[in-house]
Amino acid sequence: MNSMNRINRMNKMNKMDIDEQNEQGCTGTGTSERRGIPMKEKVAGLPAGPGVYLMKDGRGDIIYIGKSKNLKQRVSSYFQPSAAHSSKIRRMVPQIRDLDIIRTDTEFEALMLECRLIRERRPIYNRKMKTPRAYVYVAVAPGEGARALRLVREPDAAAEGRVFGPYTAGAGSIERAAAAVRELLGLACLKNRPDGIPCLNVKLGKCLGFCRGGEDGQRHREQAERLSELMEGSDDGVYREWERKMEEAAGQFDFERAAKLRDGLASLRLLMSKQRVASFAAENRNLIVLEELDANTAKVFCVRRNAVLHSEKVDWAGIGGPEGLLLRLREAATGIFAPVQQEVGAEAIRREEIDEAQIIYSYLRSGAAKAVEIPAEWLAPGAAAALEEGLRRLTETGSSDL
């Protein structure tokens, strides 16, 4: 069997396995489903490994979906008295009459499966990831005159400016962060158009003077442009500038101003960190990810944008050690990425993609696994040596620049 046929066969088998697991876990015949057995006994018999759990009410409806790297520990915690339980958990637990689980090899797979199942099943007690239409974007764009930070519901709502996001946090928290950033950078002008008369925020230090026009208006426009470049990741000068001002205020014992600047910078970091997820996904990079499960086995993933295109569990002894692993990785890279290696430019990530993108980004940044990017040129004819070198680096040290 050649490499391509082997990869296609593995993909088909993986899809069948996942679909079968999902069907079992969502129809009441999952791995923990045994009718007539008390919940306490079911929970006691849960495995200690990673997976997804589906809580059901007396009618058999799924009311909550969760994930954990230790199913037994996590599910048991729901049924133990604790002052730390949220009001949601206190309302939910008395309604639980049954549960199913879907076991996974890694916590990462559990996170991705949980995300997908919540979107498909929409359980009543799962609030996050249920309504992607509620996610908002932040635009650095003109309103009625002043170019500043504002929230928009659609990415094309600020055609003359730059749009960042989508942001999965609530619109209220993002609006508060945007307001803090406007104030921090002096972009909080109270007038739509400059008429030479300063607004109140000029006196309060929240407006650079767009309302006065002239040089002050130009300063406002330049600051808005610097904010755009900061959000895009091309220039962090404006952040470092305000960080220095915060340190200067603290050095002068002006702790009130230092605290205010600290809070403003925290809001700026929130917007920047969320934007990095969208930027990461929009790059459409081909990634090979390797996670060691134990001394004898590992998991290989092929990832692009917000999707895991292929996953495979490998046994060191069964594949012939390091050289066998390299062969498997080559087969995965050429079999999965090469057929769809057409050049795809960066494009804005959609609301429906952001949750999975957040999971993949956080997973790779956490250090739980090693990863390497597979550029299109490594998949071109005659580029086998470059691909081999990149994959060998992955198996030996891993990538730290994702």
Kindly tell me the burial class for residue 44, based on how many C-beta atoms sit within 10 Å of its own C-beta (0-12, 13-18, 19 or more): exposed
Mean pLDDT of 225-230: 89
The whole-angstrom separation of Cα 49 and Cα 71 is 6
Indicate if the pLDDT at residue 55 is higher than 90: yes
pLDDT of residue 11: 42
Mean pLDDT of 10-33: 40
Residues of the chain with CATH 3.40.1440.10: 3-129
Indicate if the pLDDT at residue 315 is higher than 80: yes
pLDDT of residue 311: 92
pLDDT of residue 160: 64
Q: Considering the chain, what percentage of its residues have pLDDT values greater than 70?
A: 83
Among 122-131, 169-178, 249-258, which is the least confidently predicted range?
Answer: 122-131
pLDDT of residue 129: 54
Indicate if the pLDDT at residue 34 is higher than 50: no
Regarding predicted confidence, which is higher, 73 or 26?
73
Report the phi/psi class of residue 186: left, alpha or beta, with left for phi > 0 and alpha for psi in -120 to 50: left
Beta bridge partners of 66: 53
CATH architecture assigned to 3-129: 3-Layer(aba) Sandwich (3.40)
Q: Is the pTM of this model over 0.75?
A: no
The whole-angstrom separation of Cα 64 and Cα 122 is 9
pLDDT of residue 92: 93
pLDDT of residue 316: 78
Mean pLDDT of 234-255: 90
Indicate if the pLDDT at residue 29 is higher than 50: no
Mean pLDDT of 6-28: 40
Kindly tell me the burial class for residue 283, based on how many C-beta atoms sit within 10 Å of its own C-beta (0-12, 13-18, 19 or more): middle
Indicate if the pLDDT at residue 209 is higher than 70: yes
Q: pLDDT band for position 161 (50/70/90)?
A: confident
Name the residue among 154, 167, 166, 67 with its Cα closest to residue 117.
67
The whole-angstrom separation of Cα 347 and Cα 283 is 7
pLDDT of residue 168: 77
